[in-house]
Amino acid sequence: MPDYRLKGASGAVFGQSWALAGECLIGRAAHCAIRLDEDAAGDEHALLEVSPQRVMLVQLDPERDTFVNGEKVERQALGQGDEIRIGRSRFLLQAPGLKPERVLHTDTAPKRTTPWTKILLSAAVLAAAAAAAWYFGLIPGL
């Protein structure tokens, strides 16, 4: 199983680090693996579900907010370097080799250039080269 770690980046968790495996509960309750001592966190605020293929964040407390990379989420697959914020506490996921699901599964097709784009670009380059040659006197009599 990959070596997933959650590292405290700010707030009361700054500088702390937790190895992740299986399920990891985040919140104010004493039984939580990652304890947050602030009012913005619920007793059982969020759950990290860790498998070899991915790390999934699930918000458990509907009364409070959880953010991933600045966006409010309820359920989010995480990738290397993603930032989790609960109240004033920020965490960074260290997941070597793990790509975020939004990168692995994109709904957009790659942009393709048309033949006209290549023709127009070639004509522009040739015109610029001719203008430069004229300016530097490489083409006599023009």
Confidence of residue 114 (pLDDT cuts 50, 70, 90): confident
pTM of the model: 0.66
pLDDT number for residue 110: 58
pLDDT number for residue 105: 47
Cβ pair 12, 89 in contact under 8 A: yes
d(CA 124, CA 11): 54
Confidence of residue 137 (pLDDT cuts 50, 70, 90): confident
pLDDT digits (tens, 9 = 90+) for 51-107: 988 899 999 999 999 999 999 999 999 988 999 999 999 999 997 765 555 544 445
pLDDT number for residue 138: 82
